[in-house]
Structures are given as C-alpha cells and as structure tokens.
Amino acid sequence: MSLADLLQRILRQPSPDDLWALQPALLAFDSPNAEAAREIAHRFYVYASQVESKLNSKRYSTVSARLAAGSVGVIATQDFLDSLLSQHRGALGELLAGGLAGMLEVLASLQSVKAWKTEFESVHEEAAWDLYAALWRLSADTQPGLSQDQRQRMIDPLFAIIRSRDVDGTLRMALIVWLYQITLALRMAPLLAVESGSALQAVD
C-alpha cells in the first residue's frame, strides 16, 4: 500500500493498526522528513492505543465512532492531499490561523456529547504536550521567519480549547485526533511528493 493510501485511511478513520502499518513505509525513507513524520505517527499511535485500551470491548464501537468524528475524513481527502503537495510551506499557517482554528471554536461550543470520566485527563494532557511541541517544530521548519511571539500566538489558541477543563472529554479527544492528523499529513507532504515523482518516472 502506498504512503498516500495509508494516509487517506488515517485521515478518514484513524486506528492504531493503520498507524502501525505506516511505520515500515516511513522507515523505508532515509531522510529527516521521514524521521519527523515517523515521530508524530508514533505519538499518534500511542495516543490512539491508550484511548482504545482504557475502554472495554463493550464500548469500543463508541470509541471508533468518536475517533472517526474527530477525523478530517469529513472533507475530501484527495483534495486535501493535493493541496498539501502544491502548497506545503504555507499550509500550516492557513490551517491554524484560518479554517482549523475556526472549526475548533465551533466544535468547542457543541453540548450534545456525553462527558468522559476524569481517568482520561492524563491521556489528553500528555497528547497536548506532545502536539504543542510537534506543531512548534513544524512551524519553525515551514515558517522560519516567524518570531517566538508570532509562533506562540498562532498555536496557543488551539491548546486553550484542548486544555480547558470546561470542554467535554469526547470533544477534546476529537480535537486532539484532528491535530494529530493535520500534523502527520503536513510532515508526510514532502514524502508524498517524492513518492508521486517516483511513480511518474516509473510510468515514463
């Protein structure tokens, strides 16, 4: 299965198994881009596995639905991937400052989901810590001209929502899943470009 196919599966409905399957494909690339993508895939895998393991089999179908609800699969994944390949460097700022931040605010206002128990708080907090660092490094790599204050102003509003104790646990999980997907996709964009170029050469 190609990198693009694996990423599409993860964008539509993430699962620990699909994230695990991504590992050998990323290991086959010997580059800093692949290592950065593997690092965020690993953290995403750990988070998804922790969420899954904290719930019993009776509730697993609900967890799957919630993971899917937090995915970017609600948008056209192929259009999203095409956009990544054509404008990777500007994608992070646009996602965080525009559509994604706005969508998170809309999601944060929803009141129709049931709260999770406090036992999930530490899982969310650990994921938030990892994601903050991952987005900061991604921003530094793709937008090196930003000052520390500019970078922080771009990222902080997202985590104010995720870290708020007033936000429902299910919703927090959906936002974390979404950010993992966006970060992974952006990290994989250079690798997808390499894969796409190799496929075109093979056809020629």
| Tens digits of residue pLDDT in 168-199 | 777 788 788 888 988 898 899 889 888 776 65
Q: Output the pLDDT for position 186.
A: 87
Query: Any residues with CB less than 8 A from the CB of 147 and at least 6 apart, and which?
Result: none
Structural domain including 28 reads 3-203
| Count of structural domains, the chain | 1
Q: Whole-prediction pTM value?
A: 0.80
Q: Output the pLDDT for position 34.
A: 93
Q: Are 187 and 40 in contact (CB under 8 A)?
A: yes
**CB under 8 Å, gap of 24 or more: what pairs does 129-133 form?**
130/43, 130/47, 131/43, 131/159, 131/162, 131/176, 131/179, 131/180, 131/183, 132/159
Low-confidence ranges of the chain (pLDDT < 70): 55-119, 197-204
Q: Output the pLDDT for position 161.
A: 80
